[in-house]
Structure 1
Amino acid sequence: MAGTSSSSSWLQLLHLQPLWGGGFLVALCQLSLFYYGLGAVLHWVVPLLGPVQGIQEAPRKPGEVARDAINSIGPIVVKAGIWYIVEQMHAAGISKLYAGPVSSPYQVAYLLLCIVLLDYLHDAWFYWTHRALHWRPLYRWVHWEHHRSTAPSAFTGYAFHVVEALIVFANEVLVCWLFPIHMGLHRIYHIATTVIHEAGHVGYELSPFIPTLEGIAALLGCGLRGSPGLNTVQHHDMHHRYPTKHFSLYFTHWDRWMGTLHPKYDAGLFRYFS
């Protein structure tokens, strides 16, 4: 009986069910499979499917990709732990999280509104915590780990210090008190943010194909010209070359307002799709 119970548990883990509420190990498996699977596709598969024009000026050093893939393990564990904390908050009824079926047009519209709110809140949190991480003591002892890669790859997305992981991912707990969020949306959204982190480091231009609601709207309205208000791979790639510029994640408005947008950025914007 014990063996049957153990096999059943592992089967549940391998099928990654349920989406949420399965505890720390399920969260860790979901995130690890998504992160390393997506990283492999972006780093090795996409360049094989068609020509990609690199935007990095410096070549990657030998062993850099493997080092970043290994250094991503700590932050992935931290993020999975935060998801487990969110599950416990929901179970204890100490947040604005909710669950249940989503069926009516009103409920779907509210989920879409939540995604837009989460995008802008996440972007603001990332901009200001990122700038704080460039404060000399924090940069020297924490954030420098991420900047070891001047020519980043998809696996650089979460290749940072665990203290930085606690800071960067803390917003995933904080938003649970701001407005009602469906548990399923919370999990799916914060898995999807991994796309932004990995794609932003991949080394070739993907914008406007990075999947956000705003990116989809820009693609429909502007085509391959994209929107200067949305971040690109070039945007964050320049941050690794010019560490005092480009601190935002989704949008460029904070960098424009605060004077941290590199003067060369707009001139070369979207030239990779010309």
Structure 2
Amino acid sequence: MDLNLLSLLTPLYGGGFVHAFTQLFVFYYVVGALIHWGIPLLLPVQSVQPQPRVKGSVTRDAFYSLGPMAVKAAIWVIVEKMHARGWNLVYTSPIDTLPHVLYCGLVVGLLDYLHDSWFYWTHRMLHWGPLYRHIHYIHHKSKVPSAFTGYSFHVVEAIIVFANEVLVTMVLPMPASVHRVYHLTTTAIHEGGHAGYEIAPFVPTVESLLLLVFKGTKDANRGHALNTVQHHDMHHRFPNRHFSLYFTHWDRWFGTMHPQYEKNLFSYFK
């Protein structure tokens, strides 16, 4: 790697806007290329999409993603500035003891739940008529999404969606490195959720990985609690269904789960 690029990727935290944007840019397009082109070349995948993708939509979505990445990078800088002024609970001490490692694991679990809850309710809000017509419609240009649809949305939507990355630092103490790595990982989750094919557990949450380790891919209860690629893919076909990101409980509790969701789901996990 070019030394100038390497200097923009490290250290992990604290380098300002250009540093944060470069981290996101490299991560987003490398992961997107791996999901969209690399994995289908290496592994047999089964599409969850019933119709072909419109020509040019992948390039369009990859371009539209630049604005939201700039917003996300700016939000990371806000977190850095707040930390410098003592306005949030982020800290920079090393993670060098077992209790601290265990605590960070708990933080990741809490962040998953908080992120999913924030996403569900803000996502439903974005489907309110005026917000949908003027803002959220951009994301729904993709009826057959790809990995690059992950951050393909309006910059106002990006402010709404990524605002939780500031809010969590005001209620939950966490190392700066955990905050940065976690929210880089959520980028992969947004991309993976739009992949168009299912590899269990393709939406790479800690919960999905634990289920894979302990129960494998044949557990029929998997779809009852954890999200899948098909879950969000159906949202692009049925926009008033499937608003969650990691888990399915909000959709089940509030009647936004599509009744046909599980009909073919588990055929992808054999």
Cα shift at 1:17: 1.4
The worse-fitting range, judged by mean Cα deviation, of 211-220 and 244-253 is 211-220
% identity of equivalent residues: 59
Partner of 2:197: 204
Aligned partner letter, 1:249 = L
Q: Does 1:76 align with 2:72?
A: no
Partner of 2:251: 255
| TM score, norm. by length of structure 1 | 0.94
Cα shift at 1:11: 5.8
Which of 149, 163, 184 aligns to 2:142? It is 149
How far apart are the structure 2 equivalents of 1:270 and 1:68?
29
Q: Contact 2:200/2:269 (CA < 8 Å) preserved in 1? A: no
Which of 92, 113, 117 aligns to 2:110? It is 117
Greater CA radius of gyration, 1 or 2? 1
Partner of 1:43: 36
Superposed, 1:210-229 pairs within 5 Å as: 210-226=203-219, 227-228=222-223, 229=225
Q: Contact 2:203/2:229 (CA < 8 Å) preserved in 1? A: no
How much is the aligned-residue C-alpha RMSD, in angstroms?
1.4
CA offset digits 1:215-254 (Å, max 9, x no partner): 1121123211251210000000000000000000000000
Q: Contact 1:13/1:29 (CA < 8 Å) preserved in 2? A: no
After the TM superposition, which segments of 4 or more aligned residues of structure 1 sit over 2 Å from their partners? 10-14
Partner of 2:170: 177
Long gaps (5+) in structure 2: none
Q: Does 1:20 align with 2:16?
A: no
| TM score, norm. by length of structure 2 | 0.95
Cα shift at 1:174: 0.3
Cα shift at 1:209: 3.7
Q: Contact 1:208/1:216 (CA < 8 Å) preserved in 2? A: yes
Equivalent residue pairs, number? 266
How far apart are the structure 1 equivalents of 2:33 and 2:159?
25
How far apart are the structure 1 equivalents of 2:19 and 2:253?
41
How far apart are the structure 1 equivalents of 2:162 and 2:260?
30
Q: Contact 1:155/1:198 (CA < 8 Å) preserved in 2? A: yes
Aligned partner letter, 2:258 = H
How far apart are the structure 1 equivalents of 2:172 and 2:148?
32
Q: Does 1:272 align with 2:268?
A: yes
Cα shift at 1:12: 5.6
Long gaps (5+) in structure 1: 1-6
Aligned partner letter, 1:158 = Y
